[in-house]
Amino acid sequence: MIDPLLLRDDPDLVKRSQIARGHSPETVDAALAADRERRAAIAAYEEVRAAQNAFGKTVAKAPKEEKAALVAEAKGLAEKVKLAQQRVTDAEAAAEDVIGRIENVIIDGVPAGGEDDFVELRRVGDIPSFDPASFPDGPRDHLALGELLGAIDMERGAKVSGARFYFLRGVGARLEIALMTMALNKALENGFTPMIVPTLVRPEIMRGTGFLGEHADEVYRLEADDLYLVGTSEVPLAGYHKDEIIDLSGGPLRYAGWSSCYRREAGSHGKDTRGIIRVHQFNKLEMFVYADPADAEAEHLRLLGWQEEMLQALGLSYRVIDIAAGDLGSSAARKYDVEAWVPTQGAYRELTSTSNCTTYQARRLDIRHRRETGRTQHVATLNGTLATTRWIVALLETHQRPDGSVVVPEPLRPYLGMDVLEPVS
């Protein structure tokens, strides 16, 4: 939820943000009107409540013979107070609903537009080339390699669970665990607390993180239990300190959540149906940070830097892009994607992203810290992926050899216990 003071003091800034996201600025006018009605209802309630308190003192001091009439009048005032209180409740709910529809205000410099309007910030690493003499049919894709290595089994995944499910077996399972463990060590080196998180959360937690907005159809729901399966450990980690005042005097609180993640991939029919690029279940190590809002942009760049260090260590060619406003999630004020080169697609594909959600999620979940003045302030929340199943795609394709074997990047070898992944068939 955006800051109500910002909404009142600088509605034009909020409108510009909505327009950059591709939304109507009329939502801001509706929110301002709802906020005015809420404040008017509160003022009316306080006025009638003050009158009730004053009249109560009058009744207490009145002669016995006058009290019967005054008590009847007091009951009338009590009814007015009750009605005024209900108007406050209704007005607050209406204001929360309307203001909650406004997405986070983007940070200065975020490009306007939609999915194709990102700004490329840099490219790192040489795009891998494959000698036609050694690869007469071109490089194999990750699924062909995965099948040769006995690492990926899509056919049985579909048999057991349906489309977009899979088994990682043998070196495939070992490779994912090695990637995740390498990422966990990177997180530990940088002050993160490791967390194994619940992957089922209550509606208020899912809603508080902003995942029940326009992309709610991506989320799995267990109706009988009124619980949601998370698509990222960002969700339970954001809810971890709900309704708390946390201590940031020693710097940001950094958590690294290891979890399975679930996404319905609604609306992606026909996209990336081959292999494990776009699937319903995957594993991920997610960085999540609670920070002083004044330090949030610097922390965002730190998260991005750690992601880049991981991809460089794995010998992957990648680019960093600044996502356009219309392609941001509702909670993100800025998001960087890191896209690795996938040789058989001849394109960069997203492997990881990192978002600065400023105070948007913390306002919904009421997470604060105490400033030096003693007053509390909502914290900023940030997130970023440090390793996930999809990384296997770029890793296999980039480091393949003509016989179908795959060279393991040297920094990954201690975690995997292998220098080369050899075909089994």
Q: Pick the catalytic residue from 350, 370, 401, 405.
A: 350
Give the phi and the psi of residue 34 in degrees, each rounded to 5: -65, -35
Catalytic residue among 263, 363, 364, 368: 263
* Catalytic-labelled residue, pool 207, 278, 319, 370: 278
Amino acid identity at 184:
L
Using only C-alpha atoms, the chain has a radius of gyration, in whole angstroms, of: 27
Distances (CA, A) of 63 to 54, 58, 71, 77, 99: 17, 10, 12, 20, 51
Contact 358, 333 (CB under 8 A): yes
Q: Which strand (E) or helix (H) includes residue 7? A: helix 4-9
- 299, 189 Cβ separation under 8 angstroms: no
Cβ-defined contacts of 401-406 (< 8 Å, 24+): 402/134, 402/135, 404/140, 404/145, 404/148, 404/149, 406/145, 406/149
Does 234 qualify as catalytic in the annotation? no
65 is annotated as an active-site residue: no
**Would you give the end-to-end CA distance of the chain in angstroms?**
54
Structure tokens at 314: 């794995």
> CA-CA distance, 123 to 76, in Å (whole number)?
72
Q: How does 373-395 read in b/e, with b if 16+ C-beta sit within 10 Å?
A: eeeebbbbbbbbbbbbbbbbbbb
Residue that is written with structure tokens 């080369």 in the block: 420
- Exactly one of 21, 38, 363, 390 is catalytic; name it: 390
Which of 30, 195, 24, 2 lies closest to 104, judged by CA?
2
Specify whether 297 is catalytic: no
CA angle 336, 360, 290 (to 5 degrees): 75
244 is catalytic: no
Our answer to whether residue 349 is catalytic in this structure is: no
Active-site pick, 317, 330, 331, 353 = 353
Cα–Cα distance measured from residue 233 to residue 263, given in angstroms and rounded to the nearest whole number? 12
**What are the structure tokens assigned to 173, written together?**
């399972």
Return the amino acid letter for 324: A
Give the CA distances from residue 64 to residues 46, 67, 138, 193, 237, in Å, rounded to whole numbers and listed in that order: 29, 5, 102, 68, 61
- Grouping H, G, I as helix, E, B as strand and the rest as coil, residue 343 is helix
Please identify every residue annotated as catalytic. Answer: 263, 278, 350, 353, 390
